[in-house]
Amino acid sequence: MSESSWILRGVDDDARERAVEEAARRGISLSDYLTDIVLQNASAEQTHQRPTAPAEDGEPSPLTMGDKFAIRHQIKALERRLGSSVTSLDGALNALDTSVFDLTSRVGDLEALAGDTGAALGGQLKDLQGSLAVLRLGLSGIEEAAKAAGDSNNLAHATLADACAELEHRLGDIETISRGADRAAAQLAEAQHAYRISVAQDIESLSRETAAHLNAGLEEVRAAADEAAAQADAAAAHLVAELRSLRLSIDKRLVESAAETKHRMHAAFAENAERLTGLSDRVAVHERQSERQAEQARAQLADVEVGMQGALEETALALRRADAVLAADIVRMGENNRTALTELRSDMAAETAAMHERHLAGAARIANAETQLSAVSEQATTRQEALDRRLSATTASFRDALDQVDTTISEQFDATALRATELEQDIAHVRRTLGAEINRVEACTLAALEKQAQDRLAGDEATHRTADKHAASMRVAIEDMRARLEEQMTTLRGQHANAQARLEYVNAALADDGPLATVISATAEEVASLRTRVLGIQGADRDVLDRLKKLEVNDTNTTGTLNALRVDLGAMAAQAPAQIERLAKLEVSIADLRLDQLANAASAQIAAEAEALAAVQARVTNIEERQADALHRLSNEITQFVAENDRRLSLLEETDVFAIAAPFAAIEQRLGELEHRDIGTAFAELRARIEERILGVEQRNVRTLEQLSATVELIERRFADSEADAGVARSA
């Protein structure tokens, strides 16, 4: 016997609590305890009423038999009414459970509550049958007592009248409860209709707000992305223009420096040739030695010029390569940003459209399901109390589902906003990095150009000073060489050996392809050695001037020698055009070599740019393929999910409302089976079936949540992979 039957029968709460405590104290069920109490009361009444019966009362009077028949008729009528009410309630509940069984997992809570209500009604039916059995025992005892004792008929009649009055009172209470249930059902139908309208309005307003918020967010993201792309393009164009102008200025400066150096060298060579042609015959031997020294100096200057040109060309090539790499990085980053923004726009638009369609379809189908449920509730007005609990559970589940959808949408919006913020931060970081790199490249380039200009000026000044000192020393040496020819030859041989050693050192440094600083240091050392030599020559000249006066006496003796020197000088003058032609050929060969180097550098730069462009295109193609595959799989999964929901909702929509009344045809048949049916076994089977249904609903909900979480995780992982690829591309 369930506790709900006591509440429905109108039993006092205090009496009910005392009975429950006594049954718990005895360790038996409440139904067994009540059965024992009723049997004990019936036995006590029989024991108390049997001695008072007169022995001479044989047959009951007609009035007593009529009263007894009327009481029995009333009791049977009451029993039939109660049995029909209970059986009709049980049949209608089973029919309602059969109709609710066809609903999907969204109304699984309704099905579980229907099973609970069926179990409660089955318990009430069992309690009612126990009460009727106890009542039958009491009536049989009363009949036996009436047959045995005639005098007790009046008392039995009064007792039965009281019992009938109490039963009539309880029947009135039951009818009152039924009318209250009808009114509650009507109120529940009105509340359900209002709730359905409010839910539809809430869903519609939520969809509008969601669409508006998402459109506003997308517009902001689109505007920010367009602005960032425009700024990146402008920065890239400005950087390319600056680098081009820088490259042109560097090339122009290199050309001007080479032309100026050649002009100065030509002027120096022409001046040396003019000075050589003006020498006298007296310095023939010294002139040959001077010529060898001049050739060595020219070779050294040519080597220095070649080294400086090689260093300048390497610097220009490095700047061009840096320019090409930076331009390629800027273009690649711009393309990656545009691709990522395009994919983000398309994904967000697709997700927004799909979410809006799912909201609309779900709202329409929920409205249809609620219409069917309202029709079912109108036909089953006597079970509104159980339906109230089911609809409460359905409302809670719908609210949970709406809260879950709202939470999911909010999380997706937050994730989208976070990705947009990260993208803006990446763009700002790239912009700052590009600005820093551009400033660094400009600073390094300007510093390198300034250093090269300073080194070139220092080299030119040192070369001029060296040439001037060398010319002065040559003039002084030519004047006093008549007296110190042998001594000067010895000194020049030693100096020639030192210069040859230093020249080999410079050539070794140039052969090792050392940096420009090594060449400059070697040149500075050579200039210092030349300065030392000039100072030594000047000191020697002062000594020679003192001796010149002594050697003038011997001037006449050297007249023949001067004639010979004049002959040698004429030969050297005849060889001067050949030397000029050789220098011109050397300049042409140097120009050809430089053009070849520039052509090789240009071809290498073009090949490197082609390889970088091919690599960028391959990466972009790979990223596009991965994104296309991910979107395709996601669309397939969403399509399958929507198709499954459509199938389930179509099953709900195709369910005929009038088919619910079909099980009522089997009520009469089940009424006959109730007398022979084992209520305990049926109740156990019903409980097992309800538990199986609840377990199945929970498993389906768990699987659905797992699929949803797996889908969300897959989407996040794909977004993370695309962002990681974009980061790798930016770092590359």
| Digit-coded pLDDT (tens) for 501-537 | 665 665 565 555 444 455 455 555 655 665 666 566 6
Contacts of 455 (CB under 8 A, 6+ apart): 516, 520
| pLDDT score, position 61 | 45
Give the model's pLDDT for residue 332. Answer: 72
683 within a domain of the structure (yes/no): no
What gap in Å lies between CA 502 and CA 489, rounded to an integer? Answer: 20
Residue 320, pLDDT above cutoff 60: yes
Inside any domain, residue 397: yes
Provide the token pair at 713: 């995780």
Q: Are residues 251 and 356 in the same domain?
A: yes
pLDDT at 281 over 70: no
Average pLDDT, stretch 2-17? 58
pLDDT surpasses 50 at 631: yes
Q: Are residues 246 and 97 in the same domain?
A: no
The Cα angle at residue 432 between residues 721 and 240, in degrees rounded to 5: 100
351 with 461, same domain? yes
Planar angle of CA 148, 149, 153, nearest 5 degrees? 120
Q: Is residue 711 part of a domain?
A: no
Last residue of some domain: 634, 650, 681?
Answer: 634
Half-sphere exposure of 608 (CA within 13 A, CB side): 17
Note whether 13 and 159 are same-domain residues. yes
Across the chain, mean pLDDT equals 63
Tell whether the torsion through CA atoms of 533, 534, 539 and 540 is positive or negative. positive
The answer to whether residue 161 sits within a structural domain is yes
Taking the C-alpha atoms of residue 230 and residue 207, their distance in angstroms, rounded to an integer, is 34
Is 678 within the bounds of a domain?
no
Domain range for 187 is 3-204+373-410+635-662
Q: How far is CA 723 from the centre of its chain?
A: 7
Q: Are residues 187 and 241 in the same domain?
A: no
Report d(CA 321, CA 606) in Å as an integer: 10
Residues 458 and 396 both lie in one domain: no
Cα distances (angstroms) measured from residue 591 to each of 255, 259, 587: 11, 11, 6
- Number of helical (H) and strand (E) elements in the chain, helices listed first: 13, 0
Neighbouring C-beta atoms of residue 526, cutoff 10 Å = 20
Residues 64 and 131 in one domain: yes
Contacts (Cβ under 8 Å, ≥6 apart) of 140: none
DSSP 61: P
User: Quick one: which of 526, 543, 563, 555 has its CA closest to 476?
Assistant: 543
| Residue 609 forms part of a structural domain | yes
* Domain assignment of residue 466, yes or no: yes
User: 401 with 441, same domain?
Assistant: no
The model's pLDDT over 673-731, given as tens digits with 9 standing for 90+, comes to 655 556 566 656 766 776 776 677 667 766 766 776 677 677 667 767 766 776 776 67
Residue 717 lies in a domain: no
Pairwise CA distance, residues 677 & 191, whole Å: 39
Smallest Cα–Cα separation from 332: which of 700, 609, 658, 591?
Answer: 609
Q: Are residues 478 and 576 in the same domain?
A: yes
Among 584, 618, 634, the domain-final residue is 634
Distances (CA, A) of 492 to 294, 362, 535: 12, 107, 14
* Residues 197 and 270 both lie in one domain: no
The model's pLDDT over 74-107, given as tens digits with 9 standing for 90+, comes to: 676 667 666 666 676 666 666 656 655 555 555 5
Output the CA torsion sign for 454, 460, 465, 470: positive
pLDDT over threshold 60, residue 601: no
How many domains does the structure of the chain reveal?
2
CB atoms within 10 A of CB 463: 20
Residue 130 has pLDDT above 70, yes or no: yes
Please give the pLDDT value at position 725: 74
pLDDT at 50: 47
How does pLDDT run across 555-564, given as a tens digit for each residue? 555 556 556 6
Task: Summarize the confidence of residues 18-45 as an average pLDDT.
Answer: 73
Please spell the DSSP secondary structure of 552-613, one letter per residue. GGGGGGGHHHHHHHHHHHHHHHHHHHHHHHHHHHHHHHHHHHHHHHHHHHHHHHHHHHHHHH
Query: Same structural domain for residues 259 and 318?
Result: yes
Q: Are residues 418 and 519 in the same domain?
A: yes
Nearest CA to 489 out of 288, 306, 631 is that of: 288
Q: Of 634, 652, 683, which closes a domain?
A: 634
Please state, in angstroms and rounded to a whole number, the distance separating the CA atoms of residues 434 and 330: 8
- The pTM assigned to this predicted structure is 0.18
pLDDT tens-digit profile of 236-273?
Answer: 677 667 767 766 776 676 677 666 766 666 665 666 55
Torsion angles phi and psi, residue 61, rounded to 5: -70, 160
